[in-house]
Homo-oligomer: A and B are copies of this chain.
Amino acid sequence: MANSDSGESIIARFVRILSAFDDRHQTMSVAELGRRTGLPVTTTYRMVNELLLERLLEREPGGEVHIGTRMWELVSRGSKMVGLREAALPFMEDVQSVVQHATTLGILDSDEVLYIERIGTHSTVVDISKIAGRLPLHATSSGLILLAHSPAAYQDVILARPLTKYTDTTLTEPAVLRRHLADIRQRGFAAMPGVIVPETTGIAVPVFGPDNTAVAALSVIVPRTEEHTAARVPVLMAGARGVSRALGWRGELKGTVRQSQ
């Protein structure tokens, strides 16, 4: 695909470069970037310069580089994420104002939950969901909601894999999980106490798109000591219906998750 010894395409290398940046390393020297990506020095510098030309990367006064404004702009303008986020945000705020704990919006991507948005306090509760962060399907309430509304064939694939047991309440038995999924699908919500972090409980409900598939999961993360699940589910559901309607949803029947890869 490319001229490189390793047989990588430029695009692949570009992804490697982008991947080198995360919330912990949003800016770094080109040399460090080279080390993190494992690319040859010269190649790193050449590519960085090309990317700087297009403003996909930007150079700081000190010489360090970070992901460019242009990059964010192009992606935000053309991506469907922003639309989903914008549709959901007002309702998330409503939910958040009532529940008073972290509220998140997640989608199913590459067999994981990808969190699109999250609002609410950062510190009151131990919670590891962050924007653009990923968590496994079987160990989060959002993941279980998304899985529950997925085609059976897809569920089978996921359940057939080795499932990490994060805490002693994490479900890893395919048969048990399958029963849970049926439950979740029928009741319309997933409440999972401490499946990934012992101290917290996640409660999630599905958000539907126009084609009646579950496109996202709306969830709240509350301390396990004050779950009040029964009281909180209706709030979440109302919010999720609001989001669904904002997305053009009209129906009533339960649907299946739209797969993205």
Contacts and interface: CB of A to CB of B under 8 A. Distances in A.
A82 B11 contact: no
Interface of A: 1, 9-12, 14-15, 18-23, 25-27, 47, 50-51, 53-56, 58, 66-67, 69-83, 86, 89-90, 93, 107, 109-110, 114, 119, 131-134, 260-261
A132 B73 contact: yes
A71 B74 CA distance: 10
A11 B78 contact: no
Number of copies: 2
A70 B10 CA distance: 17
| Interchain residue pairs A-B with the least CB separation, the first 4 | A21-B78, A76-B132, A77-B132, A18-B74
B131 A86 contact: yes
Contacts of A51: 11
A77 B261 CA distance: 20
B75 A18 contact: yes
A192 to B, nearest CB: 24
A171 B261 CA distance: 51
Contacts of A74: 15, 18-19, 21
Contacts of A75: 18, 67, 71-72, 75
Given A74-B18, A74-B19, A11 B79 contact: no
Contacts of A73: 109, 114, 132, 134
A47 to B, nearest CB: 8
B260 A79 contact: no
A43 to B, nearest CB: 13
A73 B15 CA distance: 11
A253 to B, nearest CB: 20
Contacts of A21: 74, 77-79
Contacts of A90: 119
